[in-house]
């Protein structure tokens, strides 16, 4: 799949305008918070923000900036998972999940060296991803996506444990984000 399809699928999950009182992100439209929209130059009412503006923000901020476009060159499934996690939890969190999973899957650094878990998906992370997928083949994509989903799901539980108000979102997070 291509980034346009990823973003269309993401927007379908996110929906339109929402301003839930328990959502720390505040008013959002198409999954884009008001703070992010303003940072990218949108100054209108959030409920009026065009879908095209959201798509542009997704591609620039949540795809290219964290390097998920480079992951896509090696695994579309992993890249799409990182995009979704990055939108919902932050790009650096998604990057750290990838790095943690790659480190856990490298057979004690026998197939490739551990990478620093800093959330920055750069050359070392991409090299580890390439080596992992080369070693594991098609099953590698499946296992890595499952590992990313496990980390994401565990983080949702931690969020709800830390802030009871976030329990309002746990069911939906697991239904639409983990899987």
- Which of 17, 38, 65 terminates a domain? The answer is 65
> Does the pLDDT value for residue 24 go beyond 90?
no
pLDDT, one tens digit per residue, over 115-173 is 999 999 999 999 999 999 999 998 999 999 999 999 999 999 999 999 898 888 889 88
CB 97 within 8 A of CB 151: yes
pLDDT band at 21 (very low <50, low <70, confident <90, very high): confident
In this structure, the answer to whether residues 45 and 109 fall within a common structural domain is no
In this structure, the answer to whether residues 99 and 49 fall within a common structural domain is no
In this structure, the answer to whether residues 97 and 170 fall within a common structural domain is yes
**Closest to 83 in 3D by CA, of 98, 102, 103:** 98
- The reported pLDDT for the residue numbered 44 is 96
**Closest to 122 in 3D by CA, of 51, 65, 82, 49:** 65
**Greater model confidence, 166 or 23:** 166
In this structure, the answer to whether residues 12 and 43 fall within a common structural domain is yes
In this structure, the answer to whether residues 61 and 89 fall within a common structural domain is no
- The reported pLDDT for the residue numbered 1 is 57
pLDDT, one tens digit per residue, over 73-120 is 999 999 999 999 999 899 999 999 999 999 999 999 999 999 999 999
| Both structure tokens of 123 | 């050359």
Q: What is the pTM of this model?
A: 0.91
User: What is the domain extent for residue 93?
Assistant: 67-179
In this structure, the answer to whether residues 7 and 61 fall within a common structural domain is yes
**CATH number of domain containing 31:** 1.20.141.10
- State the first-to-last Cα distance of the chain, in angstroms, to the nearest integer: 18
**Closest to 168 in 3D by CA, of 45, 46, 39, 20:** 20
In this structure, the answer to whether residues 9 and 75 fall within a common structural domain is no
In this structure, the answer to whether residues 60 and 71 fall within a common structural domain is no
CB 33 within 8 A of CB 25: yes
Residue 43 to residue 145: CA distance in whole angstroms: 37
In this structure, the answer to whether residues 158 and 176 fall within a common structural domain is yes
In this structure, the answer to whether residues 109 and 173 fall within a common structural domain is yes
In this structure, the answer to whether residues 55 and 99 fall within a common structural domain is no
Q: What is the dihedral of CA 66, 71, 77, 80, to 10 degrees?
A: 20
> Does the pLDDT value for residue 23 go beyond 90?
no
Into how many domains does the chain fold?
A: 2
- The reported pLDDT for the residue numbered 64 is 96
């Amino acid at each position: 799949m291509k980034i346009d399809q990823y973003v269309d699928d993401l927007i379908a999950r996110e929906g339109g305008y929402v301003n839930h009182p328990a959502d720390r992100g505040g008013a959002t439209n198409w999954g884009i918070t008001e703070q992010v929209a303003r940072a990218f130059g949108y100054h209108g009412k959030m409920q009026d923000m065009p879908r095209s503006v959201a798509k542009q923000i997704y591609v620039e901020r949540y795809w290219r900036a964290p390097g998920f476009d480079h992951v896509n060159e090696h695994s579309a499934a992993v890249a799409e998972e990182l995009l979704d996690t990055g939108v919902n939890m932050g790009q650096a969190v998604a990057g750290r999940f990838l790095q943690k999973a790659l480190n856990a899957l490298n057979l004690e650094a026998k197939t490739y060296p551990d990478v620093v878990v800093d959330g920055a998906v750069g050359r070392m992370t991409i090299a580890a991803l390439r080596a992992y997928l080369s070693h594991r083949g098609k099953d590698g994509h499946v296992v890595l996506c499952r590992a990313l989903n496990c980390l994401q799901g565990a983080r949702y539980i931690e969020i709800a444990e830390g802030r009871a108000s976030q329990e309002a979102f746990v069911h939906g997070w697991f239904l639409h984000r983990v899987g």
